[in-house]
A and B are shown apart, each in its own frame.
Chain A
């Protein structure tokens, strides 16, 4: 409750004062008395004497809230917040009324209207200021440590960056080795360097920092807590070989009777249940994959001269506490056997691009020889089928963005090995963005044949040769190619996808406790919060949210590490914008619980909804939903909004309709400012209040306004798929629809309320709609409640 408000009006060196008559404005504002401690009109508040005026008034008159009428938020913010800091006034007690972009600029042709509107706006903001309180800061104890889930390229990059900043990191990896998919690649584009070179460097640097605890063969089974105070349960499978005792003789592998498909090499070749260490294995000792062991077999135990094998070990469950996390669970290849027409899994000569990668690797199962897995003979004619299972309504709808370049890279391996080999790439569209185009050109020069087609089937001849039937869509003819080896360029399936599922909207992310084990990741708004998960303090890096190349993976990991450094700390600051429930008013109807797009509400033991402050994004959609208006966030909430509506808005000219517009601060309100800056005229009747989200507007505001005689309302939000808070603008439209029906029942014109969906830049659209709305209101006539009997 501000007791002494200072109102400062800036002429902006004529930009405002040429339109708004300051003498008359002063007369009008002289009527504002209650809790107003100072009223100053100044030609230029940004200037030295203007700022001195504000500073002196704050200090000498003891103002506890300042209204600056002039430019809007976002202009000269630093200037005025530093002024507040100098005088000891909290930043949130400096309110800005937009009478420049929102009033003087667009209403140059309507001087009287502009003056009346400026008076109305200042009165509204004074009413708001009276109810504005300084924020009460809320802090919670936090934990500085970080967990990184996934030890692939993304996880290692993020872990190193965080560890180098001096923070302890726990890196949790499901496999026995680090490096994920990248360690199994032969070479990486565009420089064609060895994939393991960079990973080994990363790994060594991580070891040098001494800050990273590496947990391999470990899986996250449960996640609890909230930002700053997370706790995960990690189950570690034992290696069954005691580290330190194993001397690496390899006798256990020799005697092991079981042969299994080698999952490290994507099932090309075989390996045994007892295994020699993988490259980039932090323990570096042998391990036994118990799940493949036959019952009662202890051949390796008997063979081991060091007595290092111990079958009595049990999976270990550990609980790890940390403050923030980077989730980098990476990707898997799309299961190629689902694309039945290409015969993967049936025809031995059909392999995937990752198998091809292992086959060409020097340390791979074939020692770098490109052979047909069925016959073992050297492959002479190799066909790549692009978009296998990608960009396909029956399989994955998206483009994985790397497979074109990857196939070109593999074609170049083959050509470099033996330029007489025939290589065909059957593609839908070659997508080699940026510098990858060079590789495309190199492949063309090297004699790789590119054919634009979507093959219909792969069939095996009796001689063992594979026959591919397809239509060349450029030449419009059917053709057949004989091949020794067919490589399916299958796309990337994020481990824990969900974001790219259909339209990128999946409500599974609300299942926060199943988040890491079950998948369903939802990275936030792609441009604004690209790495954020639903939970604050948990960030995504790499391919677990969407397919990307290695360059982008590293970039996203560094970005996630940066976010972690910013948010992690021993103290967690709670945003003042978070929802808060007034329990004296709440009747536990739980509408807020249902309507919150992030599911932040839980019920306490008395049945009251309580928002989890650390998950709340401050969208205030719950405030809009509450039928008892008892959700009262700090700062600008429903109480202030009600006061603003009741701030006695007067007609801008006799008989003119009064319109109040609630505008989403992300898209709609910037459009109005843009209109003002461009000097695009819209009716002066419209008084604009910017809100967090269109969904934060409680319908009681509109009901209040109608009862006191406001003629029309505009509610402007984003397009349905562009709403920053997922469901906000849709909720707003739905609620407004109900109001319209009530108005119809009340024999009032439904067109008094209007919902606009505005996208950034749609200035003309806004001006046109605003004008037609006001014209329509003039036609409908005044609000009948203006002449209602007041009981």
Chain B
């Protein structure tokens, strides 16, 4: 299922010509709506749920709804991108919440103690 842009949160990256989601989308599917100046997805059927836009949005305005094969509404997968990690909150169709932390970078050996 394609990403859903919350128009109240999206600020079209402050009227930029190319908002961040448009820059990062590997399928070039995001674009700016000419009148509302908010991001929209132009071919929802072509989205393959890579979630890049969801992670990149600086205003947390984009949400990815899970494919119906995986979960009915209100199933959701919510990423939150930190500097060295991405946390994932997965909510399945029964409302069960699972949380994961993925280290994205080798964050140096910041261990003090031995």
The answer to whether A binds B is yes
Asked whether any CB of chain A lies closer than 8 Å to the CB of B14, the reply is: yes
Asked whether any CB of chain B lies closer than 8 Å to the CB of A646, the reply is: yes
Contacting pair A33 B113 (CB below 8 A): yes
Contacting pair A745 B63 (CB below 8 A): yes
Stretch at the interface among A192-200, A701-709, A719-727: A701-709
Q: How many angstroms from the CA of A784 to the CA of B96 in the assembled complex?
A: 13
Contacting pair B76 A791 (CB below 8 A): no
Q: Which of A127, A591, A627, A791 contacts B101 (CB 8 A)?
A: A791
Contacting pair B107 A123 (CB below 8 A): no
Asked whether any CB of chain A lies closer than 8 Å to the CB of B9, the reply is: yes
Chain A residue contacts of B103, Cβ below 8 A: 790-791
Asked whether any CB of chain B lies closer than 8 Å to the CB of A788, the reply is: yes
Q: Taking chain B's interface residues, is the majority helix, strand, or loop, or is none over half, making it mixed?
A: mixed
For A32, A595, A648, A788, the residue with the greatest tally of chain B CB atoms inside 10 Å of its CB is A788
Q: How many angstroms from the CA of A127 to the CA of B110 in the assembled complex?
A: 8
Chain B 78-91 per-residue mask, 1 if CB under 8 angstroms from chain A, else 0:
10111111110101
Contacting pair A629 B101 (CB below 8 A): no
Contacting pair A642 B20 (CB below 8 A): no
Contacting pair B80 A703 (CB below 8 A): yes
Contacting pair A646 B107 (CB below 8 A): yes
- A32 with B112: in contact, given A646-B107, A789-B100, A791-B100 (CB under 8 Å)? yes
Contacting pair A589 B80 (CB below 8 A): no
Minimum C-beta distance from B57 to chain A (A): 8
Asked whether any CB of chain B lies closer than 8 Å to the CB of A590, the reply is: yes
Chain B residue contacts of A587, Cβ below 8 A: 20, 23
Closest to A788 in B: B99
Q: How many angstroms from the CA of A595 to the CA of B11 in the assembled complex?
A: 12
Asked whether any CB of chain B lies closer than 8 Å to the CB of A741, the reply is: yes
Asked whether any CB of chain A lies closer than 8 Å to the CB of B32, the reply is: no
Contacting pair B101 A745 (CB below 8 A): no
Q: How many angstroms from the CA of A784 to the CA of B83 in the assembled complex?
A: 19
Q: How many angstroms from the CA of A480 to the CA of B61 in the assembled complex?
A: 66
- A31 with B80: in contact, given A738-B60, A791-B101 (CB under 8 Å)? no
Chain B residue contacts of A595, Cβ below 8 A: 14
| B49-88 at interface with A (beta carbon < 8 Å) | 56, 58-61, 63, 76, 78, 80-87
Q: How many angstroms from the CA of A730 to the CA of B17 in the assembled complex?
A: 25
- A789 with B110: in contact, given A590-B14, A707-B80, A738-B59 (CB under 8 Å)? no
Q: How many angstroms from the CA of A477 to the CA of B20 in the assembled complex?
A: 68
Which 9 pairs, one residue from A and one from B, show the smallest C-beta to C-beta distance? A627-B58, A788-B99, A594-B14, A704-B82, A746-B89, A31-B113, A707-B87, A703-B82, A742-B60
Chain A residues in the interface with B (C-beta under 8 A): 31-34, 123, 126-127, 587, 589-591, 594-595, 625, 627, 629, 642-643, 646-648, 700, 703-704, 706-708, 738-739, 741-742, 745-748, 784-785, 787-791
Q: List 5 A-B contacts (CB under 8 A).
A: A33-B112, A590-B13, A707-B82, A789-B98, A789-B100
Chain B residues in the interface with A (C-beta under 8 A): 9, 13-16, 20, 23, 56, 58-61, 63, 76, 78, 80-87, 89, 91, 97-103, 107, 109-114
